């Protein structure tokens, strides 16, 4: 593997080993040199290693490009697919990773920083299918690594080919309640809502030990019914006795190797109480871009989120999402998907890509 990947790995573990700015520019040079599709795209936009001097100027690939182009800097070790809920199953993004170590280190470091900063291991209960059932899912792979590195005895998947096993879930939670052992639930938001409904129908409620927590992801895609964030937090307290400051929503994309998390757990263990918003790890930067011009918005403005992820060193570091947000503190607030006028910004990026 290129020595650059080792440098990125060291930086993920220890930010004092390098400068984000320098690494980002080196990653751009590497991707320009080794990925023909990205080189054509960058050249059309007049962004080359000779002209790009700041990480902010690295040309960002619209996520649509992952559906039509081979964005990989070498033979892939693993390919992950998007869920296809937006574009349809025939147009799923393909994220081809030439060095799986980058995703693994990023995923585990992110989980330790934002979900489990205070414990080495704890009992994990996953409502997310195992890799054997979802081999193309980057989320399933992330949970599998968590099961290897973060999970204590008694950890388990409570979902199988037929969906959620409510009795198995109840058994695991009942054991944690009786033993006083901390437990962490990991779920998509849709699966969590189904679990809450199933437990409510059975009139099952649990008082999990304080410090137990929950991570949900994916928004309400595929959910049986809509539920506001406050409503979900209230339901988690009623069902599990997990307070809101231990409920962390994760925001990720199949096209990225890093994730963003609600800041509540990390800030609590720093002794600070701040407004809930999404934060990313030190090896990621996010810009909020105007939907029409794809230039940074004024402070406090809303726009398309553009992520610069060093863990994507083997694919495309700069990715223009279809998500809308606004800057907040040291992170951002996620406001939803691009629609209407905002879609033009995504289309602009796609048009430039197709022109390449």
Q: What are phi and psi of 285, to 5 degrees?
A: -130, 150
* Lowest mean pLDDT across 84-88, 112-116, 160-164: 84-88
| Contacts with 29 (C-beta within 8 Å, 6 or more apart), sequence order | 49
pLDDT in tens, 92-119: 999 999 999 999 999 999 999 999 999 9
**pLDDT of 296:** 96
Q: Where are the beta strands (DSSP E) in the chain?
A: 61-62, 78-81, 94-97, 123-126, 156-157, 159-160, 163-164, 183-188, 213-217, 247-251, 260-262, 278-279, 284-289, 302-309, 318-328, 331-337
- Cα–Cα–Cα angle for 229, 338, 185, nearest 5°? 30
| Per-chain mean pLDDT for the chain | 92
Residue 74, pLDDT > 80, answer yes
Task: Give me the pLDDT at residue 354, please.
Answer: 52
Q: What does the pLDDT look like over 267-290, one tens digit per residue?
A: 999 988 888 999 999 999 999 999
Tell me how far apart the 2 most distant CA atoms of the chain are, in Å: 65
Tens digit of pLDDT for each residue in 12-49?
A: 999 999 999 999 999 999 999 999 999 999 999 999 99
Q: What percent of the chain has pLDDT over 90?
A: 85
What is the predicted pLDDT for the residue at 350?
Answer: 52
Mean predicted confidence (pLDDT) in 129-156: 96
123's tokens: 């009992």
The domain spans of the chain are 3-98+283-355, 103-278
For residue 225, pLDDT over 80 is answered with: yes
Question: Which option is the CATH number for 103-278: 3.40.50.980, 3.20.20.120, 3.40.50.10880, 3.40.50.300?
Answer: 3.40.50.980
The residue that leads in pLDDT, 217 or 226, is 217
pLDDT at 315: 98
Q: Distance between CA atoms of 159 and 129, rounded to whole angstroms?
A: 6
Residue 50 has pLDDT above 50, yes or no: yes
Give the pTM: 0.93
Q: How confident is the model at residue 352 (pLDDT cuts 50, 70, 90)?
A: low
Distance CA 308, CA 57 (A): 11
What mean pLDDT is predicted for residues 157-169? 93
100-114, 134-148, 162-176, 326-340 — which is least confidently predicted? 326-340
Q: Residue range 153-165: average pLDDT? A: 93
Per DSSP, the chain holds a count of helices (H) and strands (E) of: 11, 16
Architecture of domain 3-98+283-355: Roll (2.30)
Is residue 186 scored above 90 in pLDDT? Answer: yes
Segment 326-352 mean pLDDT: 71
Look-up: residue for tokens 């197709």?
354
| d(C-alpha 206, C-alpha 199), whole Å | 10
């Amino acid at each position: 593997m290129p020595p650059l990947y080792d440098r990125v790995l060291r930086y993920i573990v220890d930010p004092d080993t390098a400068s984000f700015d320098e690494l980002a520019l080196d990653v751009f040079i590497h991707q320009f040199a080794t990925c023909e599709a990205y080189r054509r795209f960058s050249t059309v936009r007049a962004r080359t290693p000779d002209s790009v001097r700041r990480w902010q100027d690295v040309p960002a690939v619209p996520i649509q490009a992952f559906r039509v182009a081979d964005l990989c800097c070498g033979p892939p070790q693993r390919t992950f697919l998007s869920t296809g809920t937006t574009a349809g199953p025939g147009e799923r993004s393909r994220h081809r990773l030439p060095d799986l170590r980058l995703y693994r280190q990023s995923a585990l470091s992110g989980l330790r920083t934002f979900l489990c900063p205070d414990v080495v291991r704890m009992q994990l209960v996953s409502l997310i299918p195992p890799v054997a059932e979802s081999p193309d899912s980057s989320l399933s792979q992330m949970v599998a690594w968590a099961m290897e590195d973060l999970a204590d005895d008694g950890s388990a998947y409570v979902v199988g080919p037929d969906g959620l096993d409510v009795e198995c879930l109840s058994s695991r939670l009942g054991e944690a309640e009786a033993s006083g052992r901390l437990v962490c639930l990991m779920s998509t938001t849709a699966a969590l809502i189904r679990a809450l409904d199933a437990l409510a129908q059975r009139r099952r409620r649990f008082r999990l030990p304080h410090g137990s927590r929950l991570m949900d992801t994916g928004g309400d895609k595929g959910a049986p019914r809509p539920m506001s964030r406050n409503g979900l937090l209230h339901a988690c307290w009623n069902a599990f006795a997990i307070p809101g400051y231990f409920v962390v929503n994760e925001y990720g994309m199949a096209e990225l190797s890093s994730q963003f998390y609600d800041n509540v757990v990390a800030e609590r263990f720093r002794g600070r109480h701040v407004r809930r918003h999404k934060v990313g790890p030190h090896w990621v930067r996010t810009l909020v871009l105007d939907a029409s011009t794809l230039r940074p918005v004024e402070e406090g403005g809303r726009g398309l989120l553009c992520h610069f992820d060093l863990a994507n060193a083997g694919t495309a570091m700069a990715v223009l999402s279809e998500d809308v947000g606004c800057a907040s503190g040291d992170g951002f607030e996620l406001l939803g998907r691009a629609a209407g006028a905002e879609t033009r910004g995504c289309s602009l990026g796609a048009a430039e890509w197709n022109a390449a």
